[in-house]
Amino acid sequence: MFLSTMFKRLPKKPLLAAAALALALSLGAGRAGTHAAHAAQQYAAIEFYGIQFDAVDDGTTSCGPDSWPFCPTDTHAEVYANFAAAGTSGGYFARNLAGQGSQPGWCGSVRDWYASTAYGPCFKDVDGGLPGYPAAWTYTYRLGDAAVCTTPSRGAACSGSYQTNNNVIRMVVKPGDVIHVALTAKDYDWGSADDVLCNINATLNPFASGSGQYSLHSPWNGDGECHVLVNVSTYYA
């Protein structure tokens, strides 16, 4: 009887111990989970939302007998661009729009901003109005709709494929960090050096200014003028 009881009870002790250990692990895991939630990493999302080419001067269109001697300004450009964001805590991420200074011969005249990602390396046709017009009147070329590639640094060779919705840069931040953003858009010219249409360098401070949209202005330089719309927000993950 005694031996029988012992044999019956012996297995129970390890089970109880195992149950106690499981409970301890469960509580420990719970505490670890809570701790992890408190230590959640903070990020900034920097969306290069779009470019407004407020004015483009790509020379004069051919002067026909109807327009002479007033040769209209060609407000139509063949654009490529690059942009990047860098944060105080060390993050740096860059993107290219179209080939940087050259495009493959097969692009031909397919330069639609909204062309499929297969046309990622091809220049993009844009139109800009005349200098001084209100930005609100200007069409916004949305960078999420165009195929852009990831690149190690602005204007360098692509390190990833051209993709749409590739216009949001996310990076780790700490409270008080500032974020430097830069964008350059150029007009390709066949017979002369390419022209800068848009050149943005700005420091954003989402912790002082809060989340929202920044409209960054690149003033008229003789070839172009633009506003670049950048949405910035911070979040925990």
Chain contacts with Ca ion (rule: CB under 5 A): 58, 78, 187, 189, 195
For Ca ion, the closer of residues 79 and 200 by Cβ is: 79
Contacts of 135 (CB under 8 A, 6+ apart): 52, 54, 215, 227
Shortest CB 193 distance to Ca ion, Å: 9
- By beta-carbon proximity to Ca ion, the closer residue of 98 and 204 is 98
Encoded tokens for 19: 């149950």
Taking the C-alpha atoms of residue 186 and residue 224, their distance in angstroms, rounded to an integer, is 9
| Least spacing, CB of residue 123 vs Ca ion, in Å | 9
Q: From the CB of 108, what's the least distance to Ca ion, in Å?
A: 16
Nearest partner of 180 among 195, 169, 196, 194, judged by Cα: 169
Buried b / exposed e over 113-138, threshold 16 CB at 10 Å, is bebeeebbbbbbbbebbeeeeeeeeb
- Helix orientation angle between 2-9 and 12-38, rounded to the nearest 10 degrees: 20
Q: How far is CA 155 from CA 22, 111, 123, 187, in A?
A: 55, 19, 14, 14
Q: How far is the CB of 54 from Ca ion (least distance, A)?
A: 16
Question: Please, which residue, 87 or 99, has the CB nearer to Ca ion?
Answer: 99
| Distance of closest approach, residue 53 Cβ to Ca ion, in angstroms | 12
CB nearer to Ca ion: pick between 212 and 219: 219
Terminal C-alpha separation, the chain: 61
Q: Which of 75, 163 has the CB closer to Ca ion?
A: 75
